[in-house]
Amino acid sequence: MTVQERYEAARKMYADVGVDTDAAIAKLKEIPVSLHCWQGDDVTGFDHDGPLTGGIQTTGNYPGKAKTPEQLMQDMEEAMSLMPGKKKLNLHASYAIFEKGEFADRDKLEPKHFRKWVDFAKKHHVGIDFNPTFFSHDKVKDGLTLTSPDEETRKFWIEHGKACIRISEYFAKETGVPCVMNIWIGDGYKDIPADRMGPRMRYKDSIEQIIAEPHDPKLVKPCVESKVFGIGVESYTAGSAEFTLTFAATHENVLPLMDNGHYHPTEVVSDKIPALLCYFPEIALHITRPVRWDSDHVVLFDDETKEMAKEIVRCDAIDRVHMALDYFDASINRISAWTVGFRSWQKALLSALCTPNAELKKLQDENRLTELMVMQEELKTFPFGDVWTKYCEECGVPADKNWFEEVERYEKEVLLNR
């Protein structure tokens, strides 16, 4: 059977349960997903030569790592050519690109240091999201940045955050797409602290100073991201879930950002999404795969990934949730890692769009729970793969069984020659 014949058969099956697969495909093409630049070079960036520090770690040494802005952009273009759907670009401040002989520390960064990224975004007709980089820097004093009791240290990092607000607005104006600017710090303590409130009050004041930097809230969307713990800060992190969620809830135009690797193993972000949507006009996600806590594995088409996508779709919140990938695996081909993760999230969204959510909700509301369970199980064996193949074809990218050949060619001709 041809792709079209298989799709026609699948379309009929889905139509029988009230799902329009043509509409699902068309809708998915409109949903932007932010692609993180740091998968391509193991979160190294271009503004320092030191190791990755600040409670995070990348493992592995697969050949072909990007070492220059040109190589990183080349690799991103290769990966993007294998991904269906609409994209955004997600940058960290440490990926500033300086002209020869030029350098600006993080508190002095300017829009001009990201001009080449804007050119890249315009070339590919995508927007840009942004992240201040509060790690891997010699001004991280005693492991602390925005919570530091040393006012000189804290001031440096506040100025960095303000600079990033200005850069974010530059991105939005240049690309015509609002910029989601995410604040995350790894500040905390390895062992039991004597003062838990003090660092959080300093953090609160620091974020308030950062977001007070003049900006258009329609263009710049500041977020605060929590974390349960990090390497070297196992006992206490200032930016806990309760802290960041309450901050977002009590400050106008600040979004909560949930990373599904930043919670206890028994918590699931899929359940948190509808809870937050009851109160927040918009929320943001960093999508990863936490094999062991925040291990930042490549996103797969697994159960929790599917559930997160289901909640976004069934809550009619596609336009209210800013979606971004966030993982970094150096143990495998980095182009493949990017591609697998992006395609997996696309699959999850398409699967959610191909779910008869209204009918399932009706069964629940009418307490027809036996039928609900039966229907949910029956849907698991529907020919979703044929709808996915059709979607890839319409987007002009290879289907699953073919795209890896291009990755192997690129590795042989480009990556292994670096």
Q: Confirm whether 302 is a catalytic residue.
A: no
Catalytic residue among 47, 78, 259, 411, which? 259
Is-contact 414 335, C-beta < 8 A?
no
Angle between the N-to-C axes of helices 357-365 and 303-314, in degrees from 0 to 180, rounded to the nearest 10 = 80
Catalytic residue among 42, 159, 225, 411, which? 225
Q: Confirm whether 108 is a catalytic residue.
A: no
Range 119-135 burial, b when 16+ CB lie within 10 A, else e = ebbeeeebbbbbbbbbb
Tell which residue, 139, 64, 60, has the closest CA to residue 94: 139
Q: Confirm whether 386 is a catalytic residue.
A: no
Q: Confirm whether 184 is a catalytic residue.
A: yes
What pairs with residue 258 in β-bridges? 285
Distance CA 238, CA 229 (A): 9
Tell which residue, 237, 204, 209, has the closest CA to residue 54: 237
Distance CA 352, CA 308 (A): 9
Q: Confirm whether 296 is a catalytic residue.
A: yes
DSSP strand pairing (283-287 vs 255-259):
parallel
Helix (H) or strand (E) holding 172: helix 151-175
Asked if residue 138 belongs to a known ligand binding site, the reply is: no
Distance CA 17, CA 385 (A): 17
Asked if residue 294 belongs to a known ligand binding site, the reply is: yes
Distance CA 278, CA 142 (A): 39
Q: Confirm whether 294 is a catalytic residue.
A: yes
Catalytic residue among 227, 272, 306, 310, which? 227
Catalytic residue among 42, 296, 386, 411, which? 296
Q: Name the burial class of residue 52, with classes exposed (0-12), middle (13-18) and buried (19+) by CB atoms within 10 angstroms of its CB.
A: middle
Sign of CA dihedral 397, 401, 405, 407: positive
Catalytic residue among 262, 297, 306, 322, which? 262
Catalytic residue among 36, 204, 272, 286, which? 286
Q: How many other β-carbons are positioned within 10 Å of the β-carbon of residue 245?
A: 19
Query: What is the separation, in whole angstroms, between the first and last Cα of the chain?
Result: 42
Q: Write the DSSP string, 106-137.
A: GGG--GGGGHHHHHHHHHTT-EEEEE---SSS
Catalytic residue among 187, 294, 311, 386, which? 294
Q: Confirm whether 22 is a catalytic residue.
A: no
Catalytic residue among 129, 159, 311, 326, which? 326
Active-site positions read 184, 225, 227, 259, 262, 286, 294, 296, 326
Per the annotation, binding residues are 262, 294, 296
Annotated binding site for Mn(2+): which residue ranges? 262, 294, 296
